[in-house]
Structure formats: structure tokens, C-alpha cells
Amino acid sequence: MDLVVEGRAYIRGKLAPWCIGIEGGRIRATKKLLKGDEHLDFGDMLILPAAIDSHVHFRDPGLTKKEDFNTGTISAAFGGVSCVLDMPNTIPPTLTPISLADKVNAIAGKAWVDYGLIGGCSPRADPAAISKAVIAYKLYMASTTGNLLVTSDADISRILSSIAVTGKVLCVHAEDENMIRNLPEKTLDDHDKNRPGAAESSAIMRLSKLPGAGRIHICHVASNEAVGMLEGMPFTKEVTPHNLLLDKNSKLKSYGKVNPPLRDRGEREAVFKAFQEGKIDVLASDHAPHTIEEKEQEFSEAPSGIPGVETSLPLMLALVKKDRLGLDVLLRTACERPAEIFGINKGKIEVGRDADLIIVDGTSMKKIATKNLHSKCGWTPFDGWDAIFPHATFVRGVKVVEENGLVGERVGRDVVAGKHPIAG
């Protein structure tokens, strides 16, 4: 064995003392005792699967003053995330073989963790043209950052059918553009009123009635009605830490402006309860960094989006410690289900999977401090919140973070390109 990692590992749903044997970046054995060329004994610390954050906006290429693949993946590694799925609303948008090749070139050699690229949808682009190189697709049914809006049922149906043929998942930003008002807004409450929860349910209902759909994943569900409606539907669903933890009544001003919006406390608590009860498939950050300068503009001018790839898992680990969330629910939504849904060989400590692990000291609760985070955007709505950051993060057996420092090499690679190499 190249490497053996020892500690209290989460295997088959239980924490117990284990040795994990790693060779060629994969888990080769899990035994009570194992010998390896290198042996790292973490004593009482926990060994958990690293998280897969299936919804991030790393802004590369074209918007790299907000974030790039270097800073985004460093943030991910410090937050215990070993794989990210990056959204297509970059400049140019990831829509065609040419723009995809642009992206592949722009991010080459920058990543500290693994990644998959999500392709965009537009009324004209042919999804099949990029199907071999993307891990999934993203459909925006409402306007938000970027220029990838598709509103007509005819266009959406065509997109559903062409993506169904590829067998890939279609991630949907489900707010109905027809129900969004563009009245002037000054507060988070105005923003919520302009983009009400009913716009989410309406988009989901429209989708469910259209023919041709394959595998559909509803991103960032933020309203209780949408959660309830999705219970009877064959769609998978995702929530974000900000929609679980922040209300529109907070003092965040435009820093809390996001689509879909932060809602009221009752609504948020209902979505949180569904999450606690294991009714939501995926926890993903929707890491959407914008600069402080951009967020400091007039409320109506400020762009929507909240960063979160580095704080998502640490915030939730703190809730596990406080008995507000089951460790099983957290690992299912942050690791196992994203791996299953998107077909990624990670997310579980099991022989044959990538050795993507985090080491967690359950006693190391601390307050989030903006100055300790690594996103280029330089702010977080969670400053001062309790969190448990990982002591170390491994990507395919390579330690990339340890004790608040970046170590090792930049090993990140495209989880799809490994299967189907593309030119570019």
C-alpha cells in the first residue's frame, strides 16, 4: 500500500477505528490493521469522505476578478470539498465545443481539487455537441447572472429531449420568468416579493408537464411549497446553506441578494426541517462570488449571489456537533447522493472509490472569519458563525490541505475528461 490513513472512519454508516489503504489514488482496503509505505495515524480524529459540491460558479473564464479556478478550488479544499461541478454562466458561456475548449484551456493546470464542467442550454445550441465532455447540463428558466435564459415551453421541451438522449442530468434553475416582477427593489424583502416562492413551484410544475424529460435535478430549492411539490415527482433536489440558514430579515442588505431569494424565517425553517429529515437529496453551496465593490452598489444594481464553497460543510459539521443535524444526513447529501446522481467515483469510504477524504477534529469548533477564507471575493455572510473546518483534505490520496495550510500539489483534474479525453 502507498499510504495508510488511520482514525475513526465513517464506513457503512458507522464511525469506528479503521485503517484505510490507498494505492494509485484509490481506496484498496479498509481493515482494522494495515501496513503501508507511509502511515498517517490521526488517532481519535474522524475520517470522512470529502464533499462533492455539485453547484459552484468559479467564473473562469471571463469573470476572473470575482474568482478563478485557482482561488475557487483552494477555497473548496479548505472547506473539505474534493470535487466541484462548475456552472456554465461564464464569459463566454459554456455552450458549444468552442466555448468548452476555451474553458478547458483557461482552467488547465489551475485546480487543487477535481471538477466536472456543466454545459449550458440555449434556444439555439445543440446539447449533443458537448455531451462527451460535460458532466451535466444547466437550464436557467429565469434571468440571473449570465445570459442563458430559456423561457418557452417549446425550447425547453426540445432541450429536455436532446439531453435525455445523452443520459446526463439536467440541473434546473427553477423559477418561472413569467412570475418574476421587475419592480424597483431596495431590500431583501422587496427581492423576495419580486421573485416569490410561487415562481419556483410554477417552474417545477411546468417542467413536470413537458414531454421528453430524462434525469432532472432541481437546484437550490428555497420555498416550502416547492419542497412539498417535489416529494411526489421523479426529480432530485438540492438545497444551499444560505437558504437553510439565512433569512431575508437579516442585516445583510445586498450581500444577501441571491436567486432564488432568501425567504422568511418560517419558510426557511420548513425547508431546513425537510433537509434534517433526509427529504432533500443534495447539499450544494451555489458558490456565486461577486466582488465587494459590486455588492456595495445600490441594492437594485448589486448582482445576485452568495459565496459558500469553503463554509458549506464546516457550517454543517458544527450543526452535527450541536445535534441539530444527523451526520448520516450530512454525508448522504454532501457526498453520497451527489456521487450517485452525477456518476462520480467518490463520496464514500469504500474499496474502489477515489481516496477523497477529510480529517475532522470534532472538538475544533471555531468562528468563521472572513480573513481566513480563500475566495477572491473577500466576504462571507457567515462571518462569526460556528464552524468545524477539516484538519486535512485528501484528493485521490494526495494531501492538499493540512492545519490551515496548502500542502502538496495541484492535482485537480476533470472527472469526465479522464473517461472521454477531448481535444483542446
Residues of this chain that bind ligand DOR (CB under 6 A) = 57, 89, 144-145, 173, 258-259, 288, 304-305
The smaller minimum CB distance to ligand DOR, of residues 182 and 404, is found at 182
Query: Cβ of residue 60: shortest distance to ligand DOR, in angstroms?
Result: 13
Concatenated DSSP letters of 142-193: S--SSS-B---HHHHHHHHHHHHHHT-EEEEE---GGG-------SHHHHHH
Cα separation of 205 and 199, whole Å? Answer: 10
The smaller minimum CB distance to ligand DOR, of residues 173 and 215, is found at 173
329 binds, among ligand DOR, Zn ion, none (CB under 5 to 8 A by kind): none
The smaller minimum CB distance to ligand DOR, of residues 242 and 348, is found at 242
Query: Cβ of residue 213: shortest distance to ligand DOR, in angstroms?
Result: 21
Cα separation of 406 and 240, whole Å? Answer: 26
For residues 5 and 11, the answer to whether their CB atoms sit within 8 Å is: no
Query: Cβ of residue 286: shortest distance to Zn ion, in angstroms?
Result: 4
The smaller minimum CB distance to Zn ion, of residues 36 and 119, is found at 119
67 binds, among ligand DOR, Zn ion, none (CB under 5 to 8 A by kind): none
Cα separation of 160 and 170, whole Å? Answer: 8
- Using the Cα atoms of residue 365, residue 371, residue 372 and residue 375 in order, give the sign of their dihedral: positive
For residues 45 and 358, the answer to whether their CB atoms sit within 8 Å is: no
Task: Using CB under 5 A, list all residues that contact Zn ion.
Answer: 286
Would you tell me how many other CB atoms lie within 10 Å of the CB of residue 421?
11
258 binds, among ligand DOR, Zn ion, none (CB under 5 to 8 A by kind): ligand DOR
Please give the radius of gyration of the chain, using alpha carbons only, rounded to the nearest integer: 20
305 binds, among ligand DOR, Zn ion, none (CB under 5 to 8 A by kind): ligand DOR
Sequence-distant (≥ 6) Cβ neighbours of residue 273 within 8 angstroms: none
DSSP element (H, E) containing 41 = strand 38-49
Cα separation of 124 and 305, whole Å? Answer: 27
The smaller minimum CB distance to ligand DOR, of residues 57 and 215, is found at 57
Query: Cβ of residue 359: shortest distance to Zn ion, in angstroms?
Result: 29
316 binds, among Zn ion, ligand DOR, none (CB under 5 to 8 A by kind): none
73 binds, among ligand DOR, Zn ion, none (CB under 5 to 8 A by kind): none
Angle formed at CA 345 by CA 420 and CA 416, multiple of 5 degrees: 20
Query: Cβ of residue 55: shortest distance to Zn ion, in angstroms?
Result: 5
Q: Residue with CB nearest Zn ion?
A: 286
Cα separation of 81 and 347, whole Å? Answer: 10
- Using the Cα atoms of residue 46, residue 327, residue 257 and residue 188 in order, give the sign of their dihedral: negative
Among 286, 354, 356, 414, the active-site one is 286
285 binds, among ligand DOR, Zn ion, none (CB under 5 to 8 A by kind): none
Q: Cα–Cα distances in Å, from 230 out to 180, 207, 332?
A: 21, 11, 18
Catalytic residue status for 2: no
Query: Cβ of residue 258: shortest distance to ligand DOR, in angstroms?
Result: 4
The smaller minimum CB distance to Zn ion, of residues 313 and 359, is found at 313
Query: Cβ of residue 57: shortest distance to Zn ion, in angstroms?
Result: 6
The smaller minimum CB distance to ligand DOR, of residues 4 and 139, is found at 139
Tell how far CA 390 is from the center of its chain. 17
User: What's 197-249 look like in SS3?
Assistant: HHHHHHHHHHHHHCCCCCEEEECCCCCHHHHHHHCCCCCEEEECHHHHHCCCC
Active site residues: 286
